[in-house]
Amino acid sequence: MDESVSRIVVLGDDDRGADVRNAVRSAGGRLLGSAAADAIVTVGEEAVRNALVADHGTPVLPVGAGRFSVPRSSASTAVERLLAGDVESVTHPVLGVAIDGDPVHRAAFDVTLIANQPSQISEYAVAFDAGHEETFRADGIVVSTPFGSGEYAATVGGPILDPGSGLSIVPVAPFTTQADTWVVSRGVTLSVERDVNPVRLVVDGSPRELVPPKLPVRVETVDRVEILSVSG
């Protein structure tokens, strides 16, 4: 951003959220109670997730939420920089999830299909937009944005993604010693094959509905949000 801002929304209700609100007031910014603002400052992972999936188009400055966020100890300085317009930005994908063609969820970090029972291996299919398909046996599969790639996807062997590099697709506990992972530009279609048991859909770490075998689950970029950062 190369213009100063004055109207700020702060999301996050913990003590640090109160500190950030005080920092906005001290720096001369105006606090608003809605997303009709120049920027949103989010405190904590839940707040940044809510802001990213809200479909409002307002830039977001994450605080204390892992990758691409400002450390909580630097929040006051970051607010001052934000109000002066002295911040950088990258665009971050927001994922849409559709089951059998019906849109059901939006995700900021990752979308997972996982066995509903512990250690229940299923056969998964990944259909790519280029037209080919891969199948494998595993406990599950996770599709991650760059923001989420350093979390669950990384613990199961996925790559750490830079902004703009795409989405990662990673098998969870695959039943092989040489499992592939993939990076795609826009999205993929997932399904469970050759199994009688449904699997659980998990969106940004929250368990959602069960998905029956053979039912296509489309996960793709449906929106992009400007993520603000402070360097130096």
Instruction: Please state the domain extents for the chain.
Output: 7-86, 94-223
pLDDT at 27: 75
pLDDT of residue 96: 98
Distance (Å, whole) CA 211 – CA 65 = 30
> Which tens digit of pLDDT belongs to each residue from 113-125?
998 876 677 899 9
CATH 2.30.300.10 describes domain 94-223: no
pLDDT at 30: 74
What local confidence, expressed as pLDDT, does residue 188 receive?
97
> Averaged over 26-37, what is the pLDDT?
71
Q: What is the edge-to-edge ordering of all strands in the sheet holding 140-144?
A: 182-184, 167-172, 140-144, 110-115, 199-203, 206-211
Hey, how many other C-beta atoms are within 10 angstroms of the C-beta on 84? Answer: 13
- Percentage of the chain with pLDDT > 70? 92
Distances in whole angstroms, Cα of residue 129 to Cα of each of 53, 117, 187, 215, 219: 24, 30, 7, 17, 11
pLDDT given at position 144 = 97
pLDDT (tens digit, 9 = 90+) per residue, 63-99? 988 778 888 888 888 888 988 888 899 999 999 999 9
Indicate the average pLDDT of the chain.
Answer: 88
- Answer positive or negative: Cα dihedral of 177, 187, 183, 127: positive
Can you tell me the distance from the alpha carbon of 202 to that of 113, in angstroms, rounded to the nearest whole number?
A: 6
> Which of 35-44, 78-87, 157-166 has the largest mean confidence?
157-166
* 7-86 is a CATH 3.40.50.10330 domain: yes
Is residue 130 predicted with pLDDT exceeding 90?
no
Percentage of residues of the chain with pLDDT beyond 90: 52
